């Protein structure tokens, strides 16, 4: 869904179809009410919104969808990110948050990771949204920070291992202390904790 002209909405759907044959765009709608009805009726794997800002009506729709179709992964692409609003949508349980400046292929990679069950927050969004000055910041090594930032880019374990020239089993061993230091049980929790600490 695009907040803007119908032409923008159709163009956005066409872009997703063009850059990947792995994604099926079920429908393209314009307007929050139409979006909510379509998501509740079709129950897609991922419900993507491309919006100008995180305004109260949007938060209300997200809150309702989390109650009525909790299995749907909600992903937001936001032109102007309001820190308070973005913290709220993350608390509501959205699966992805991207800046409107996100690269289309980075967004596609993020959607695939989200489809597999992870949460993705792009670097621009996390830097604007979750930094909470004054709180304790976990001490991660340079290597751990590099791994964490690759995770935040939506890369899979095999892709990260290949980029770092290490085995996947070594990567898994390296991830364990990162999760421990961030008091997280999975990648999604680690990303949220790291973003709140301003590490991404």
The CATH number of the domain where 95 resides is what?
A: 3.40.50.2300
Q: How does pLDDT run across 15-74, given as a tens digit for each residue?
A: 877 877 778 888 888 888 999 999 999 999 999 988 888 888 888 999 999 999 999 999
Q: Is residue 135 part of a domain?
A: no
Neighbours of 186 (CB within 10 A): 12
Q: What is the pLDDT of residue 67?
A: 93
Q: Which domain holds residue 188?
A: 142-196
Three-class DSSP category at 192: helix
Strand partners, 73: 46
Within this chain, do residues 146 and 108 fall inside the same structural domain, yes or no? no
Radius of gyration of the CA atoms of the chain, in A: 17
End-to-end CA distance of the chain: 28
Within this chain, do residues 80 and 167 fall inside the same structural domain, yes or no? no
Q: Is residue 1 part of a domain?
A: no
Within this chain, do residues 101 and 149 fall inside the same structural domain, yes or no? no
Q: Is residue 136 part of a domain?
A: no
Q: What is the pLDDT of residue 117?
A: 82
pTM greater than 0.85 (yes/no):
no
Q: How does pLDDT run across 121-178, given as a tens digit for each residue?
A: 876 666 655 555 455 556 788 889 889 888 888 788 999 999 999 999 999 999 999 9
């Amino acid at each position: 869904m695009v907040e803007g002209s119908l032409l923008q909405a159709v163009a956005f759907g066409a872009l997703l179809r063009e850059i990947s044959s792995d994604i099926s765009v079920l429908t393209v709608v314009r307007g929050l009410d139409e979006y909510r009805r379509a998501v509740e009726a079709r129950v897609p794997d991922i419900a993507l919104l491309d919006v100008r800002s995180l305004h109260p009506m949007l938060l209300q729709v997200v809150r309702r969808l989390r109650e009525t179709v909790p299995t749907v992964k909600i992903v937001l692409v936001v032109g102007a990110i309001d820190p308070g609003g973005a913290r709220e949508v993350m608390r509501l349980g959205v699966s992805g948050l991207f800046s409107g400046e996100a690269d289309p292929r980075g967004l596609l990679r993020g959607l695939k990771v989200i489809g597999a069950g992870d949460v993705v927050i792009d670097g621009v969004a996390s830097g604007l949204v979750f930094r909470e000055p004054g709180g304790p910041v976990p001490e991660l090594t340079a290597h751990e920070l590099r791994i964490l930032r690759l995770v935040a880019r939506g890369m899979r374990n095999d892709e990260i291992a290949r980029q770092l020239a290490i085995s996947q089993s070594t990567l898994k061993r390296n991830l364990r202390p990162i999760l421990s230091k961030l008091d997280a049980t999975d990648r999604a929790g680690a990303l949220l904790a790291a973003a709140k600490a301003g590490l991404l």
